[in-house]
Amino acid sequence: MRTTHLITVAALALASLVVVPTGAFAAPAPPADPSASQHSGVIGQDTLRGLAEEAGIEFGVAVNADLLAKNGKYRNIVNTQYSSVTAENVMKWEAINPAPGVYDWAAAEALIANAEANGQVVRGHTLVWHNQLPTWLTTGHFSAEELRAILENHVRTVAEHFAGDIQQWDVVNEIFNDDAAGSFRETLWYQAYEELGLPGEQYVADVFRWAHEADSAALLFYNDYNLEFTGPKSNAAYAFVQELLADDVPIQGVGFQGHLDTQYGFPDLQSNLQRFADQGIEVALTEVDVRTFVTQKPNGTYTNTPADAAEGAQQVDYWARTLEACLAVEACNSFTAWGVSDANSWIPGWFTGQGAGLIFDLHSNPKPQYEALREVLRNAA
Ligand code: 9MR
């Protein structure tokens, strides 16, 4: 049986029930899926989270904190279908530290309170990333020494603040480029370290050490996209993780984001997960979605219908195979979809003409992907 943190979190949830403000977050309500409606008011065994528990993994979702607070249907799906939640945006640097010395914890704390009240674990996302940085930082004039101090202060402050609430932290996000050389991304942190006469990559080892000192219970992850395929990027990431481990850096996991697209072949995901796991660490699918091209309306806008029916079927297949790959690897204990429904996915805003990447449709109805995932979980249990 795999290790899960549900027991601890269930205990925390009971404790927190006393203090969590009522009203904003309802207790679990009947699942949105009609076939699960016999479990009215409880978390059904045939929900994703119920089946995932039987299979020994956490089934998670990236949560939009605004919708969680304001939209009952959305909240109901999050709380009944998933055992793990990731903050889609509210723990990122620009959101949590919008001005120098100012930390705004409210949205992230509300998300955590809801998770604890619903027996869910939380994946922290993310302490260090080159995107979604606050403008005071990106437009400020700081010396390399000051930048290093800002980095250390941020990592320690945020990790300490949430210590005890986070199961897995994406400590660093997307540190490699997506090129044929498998090169390291030369972010402002990288450049600051070089300016200080240190190897640029050394900031990564430092932030893992600071995060571990601040929260020794959370499992500390490096998270990236396109690690699913064996190639220059995943090979470079693999070698880098090996170096970190050799240097006793407290890294305990690698997150494979899993942003897949039917125009590319299905990756050799299982063997890639396995080789990272064989380094003695955990692995996880952290941001899964499967996009495809969708049809266009006469007015030029896009629908949510796959343009090619065969590729629509392939989306279902990719979801199932991604989950199967995780389940086939002992050290893969967590599988997260990057959003609840196609109505709140990042995909259409980033990839013109693509969409339909999630497992609930625009009206929050389960798609065939949802049923395929339940079938995979049933088979695994
Ligand atoms: O889903 C997130 C979207 O709402 C933000 O606008 C976007 C900004 O970069 O970030 C999205 O989440 C990203 C995640 O944090 C890291 N991996 C890629 C995800 C999709 O862009």
Q: Is residue 87 part of a domain?
A: yes
Cα 380 to ligand 1 centre (Å): 30
Percent of the chain past pLDDT 90, that is, above it, reads 88
Q: What average pLDDT does the segment 174-190 reach?
A: 97
Q: Mutate which of 259, 338, 350 to test ligand 1's pocket (most atoms within 8 Å of Cβ)?
A: 338
pLDDT of residue 45: 76
Q: Which residue has the tokens 């998770």?
A: 115
Q: Is residue 221 part of a domain?
A: yes
Number of domains present in the structure of the chain: 1
Q: Mutate which of 85, 89, 342 to test ligand 1's pocket (most atoms within 8 Å of Cβ)?
A: 89
pLDDT band at 43 (very low <50, low <70, confident <90, very high): low
CA-to-CA dists, residue 88 to 29, 32, 94, angstroms? 23, 22, 13
How many alpha carbons fall within 13 Å on the CB side of residue 95? 21
Q: Is residue 6 part of a domain?
A: no
Q: Is residue 22 part of a domain?
A: no
- Residues spanned by the domain of 335: 51-380
Specify the CATH number for the domain of residue 326: 3.20.20.80
Lowest mean pLDDT across 28-42, 45-59, 211-225, 300-314: 28-42
Q: Residue 58 and residue 74: Cα distance in Å, rounded?
A: 19
Q: In this model, does residue 39 exceed pLDDT 50?
A: no
Choose between 347 and 23: higher pLDDT: 347
Ligand 1 atom showing the smallest separation from residue 339 Cα? 1
Q: What average pLDDT does the segment 352-362 reach?
A: 98
Choose between 23 and 1: higher pLDDT: 1
Q: What average pLDDT does the segment 291-301 reach?
A: 97
CA-to-CA dists, residue 371 to 131, 173, 246, angstroms? 34, 31, 42
Mean pLDDT, all residues of the chain: 91
Q: Is residue 290 part of a domain?
A: yes
Ligand 1 atom showing the smallest separation from residue 173 Cα? 16
Query: Is 174 designated active site?
Result: yes
Cα 291 to ligand 1 centre (Å): 15
Query: Is 287 designated active site?
Result: yes
Cα 346 to ligand 1 centre (Å): 7
Q: Is residue 263 part of a domain?
A: yes
What is the residue with the minimal CA distance to atom 7 of ligand 1? Answer: 346
Q: What average pLDDT does the segment 282-288 reach?
A: 99
Q: Which residue has the tokens 């481990």?
A: 245
Q: Is residue 105 part of a domain?
A: yes
Q: Is residue 95 part of a domain?
A: yes
| pLDDT tens readout for residues 145-180 | 999 999 999 999 999 999 999 999 999 999 999 999
pLDDT of residue 32: 42
What lies within 8 Å, CB to CB, of 206 at 6+ separation is: 151, 152
Three-state SS at 242: helix
The pTM assigned to this predicted structure is: 0.90
